Amino acid sequence: MEKYAVFVPKLVTRRENFAPGHRACLGCGEALAVRLACKALGQNVIIVSATGCMEVISTPLPYTSWRVPWIHTLFENTAAVASGIEAGLKVIMRKGKRLAEEVKVVVMAGDGGTSDIGLQALSGALERRHDFLYICLDNEAYMNTGIQRSSATPYGASTTTAPAGKVSIGQVTWKKNVPAIAAAHDIPYVATACPSYPFDLMAKVARGAAIHGPAYVHILSVCPTGWRSATDLTVRIGRLAVETGVFPLYEVENGKYKLSIDLPQLRPIQDYLKLQGRFRHLSEEIMKEIQNRVNEEYAKLKEKVACA
C-alpha cells in the first residue's frame, strides 16, 4: 500500500471530518493520524473520545473540530461507553427503526487511556465482542498534562515523572505491548500503524471499521513537544521508528500475523534515538541494551509471522 506516489494522493477524499483550526502543537503526529483516520472512516461513525490531547485540542468550548458525532468520556470508561453505544444501536435496529447504513462506533484514546487507565474496560469490551473499532493514539506518555510517564513510555526516555539525571536513566521499564494484549483476546483484527505511512494507516483503519466484531489499531504518533524533537521531523521520526524496528508495522487477522512493511535489514537504533531530546542522556551501553531488546522483539515478531 505504501508504494503509491504522486497520483493516488489526489484520489483521497478532500472532505475533512476532523476540521483544521484545532489547537494541536506544531508538528503534532497525533492530529495527522486522526485526520487520516477520519478520512478513512467517513461520515457514518460515532467517535468516542477518551480524555487526552485529542479531546483537549479539538474541543475548546464553544468550538469543535469534529464534523461527525462525538462524545467525550473519562479515561477509564471509554471502551465501556463505546460498548453501550453499540448495544444501543443494536436495539434501535432490532426495534425496526432501520438505519440506512451501518453506523460504526470508533474509540479514540491515548496511550494512557489505553494501556494504563482504560485497559480493564478495553479488555472487557474486547471480550464481550462488541462491534467497534478501538484506535489507540500512542505518543508514549501523558503529553496533555505535561509529559508524565505511562506504561507505553519506552525504556530510557526522560519524562517529568521519570526524569533522567545522576541517579536514573529516566524510564526504567520497557514499553507495554498493548497490540499483543489485544491480539491475545483473539479478536478478528489487530494492527499497528503510523501516520508517516498514510496509505497503510488509512487502509488499516478502514479494514478495522469494515470488520464485524472488535478491532484494535495501535497508532504511533510522534509528539515533538514530549519527545523533545524538531517539529519538522515528525514524519521522518515516524518512518525511522518503523525502519529501526522500534515500532514494526503489522496486522493480526484472526490470529495470523502479517508484516505490512518487511524490512530486509533494520537501521541502527541510534538513527532514531539521536533525533529526540528525551533520549539525549543515554550512554552507548544503554543504547546497545535497547538495540538488543529491539532485535529480540523483532525476531519474536518474525517468528509469529513465519508461523502464520
Q: How far is the CB of 8 from another protein (least distance, A)?
A: 5
Query: According to CB under 8 A, which residues from 237 to 266 bind another protein?
Result: 239, 243
12-41 burial, b for 16+ CB within 10 Å, e for fewer?
eeeeebbeeebebbebbbbbbbbbbbbbbb
Question: What are φ and ψ of residue 53, in 5° steps?
Answer: -50, -50
Q: Is the torsion defined by CA of 23, 28, 33, 39 positive or negative?
A: positive
Tell which residue, 122, 169, 179, 167, has the closest CA to residue 149: 169
Three-state SS string over 162-173 comes to CCECCCCECCCC
The CA distance from 169 to 174, in Å, is 13
Q: How far is the CB of 5 from another protein (least distance, A)?
A: 6
Check binding of 5 to another protein (CB under 8 A). yes
Least CB distance to another protein at residue 153 (A): 26
Choose the stretch contacting another protein; rule: CB under 8 A; options: 8-16, 57-65, 146-154, 247-255: 8-16
Task: Between 4 and 168, name the residue whose CB sits nearer to another protein.
Answer: 4
Question: Which contiguous run of DSSP H or E holds residue 39?
Answer: helix 29-41
Which residues ranging from 155 to 184 are in contact with another protein (CB under 8 A)? none
Q: How far is the CB of 46 from another protein (least distance, A)?
A: 12
DSSP state, 268?
P
For position 96 contacting another protein by CB under 8 A, the verdict is no
Number of chain positions touching another protein (CB under 8 A): 18
Q: Does 100 bind another protein (CB under 8 A)?
A: yes
Q: Closer to another protein at the Cβ: 43 or 168?
A: 43
> Any contact of residue 6 with another protein (CB under 8 A)?
yes
C-alpha–C-alpha distance, residues 275 and 151, integer Å: 22
Contact with another protein (CB under 8 A) among 21, 101, 166, 306: 101
| Cell of residue 246, nine digits | 522500534
If binding is defined by CB under 8 A, does position 97 make contact with another protein? Answer: no
CA pair distance 174, 234, nearest whole angstrom: 23
Residues of the shown chain interacting with another protein in the complex, contacts defined by CB under 8 A: 3-8, 10-11, 13-15, 43-44, 100-101, 236, 239, 243
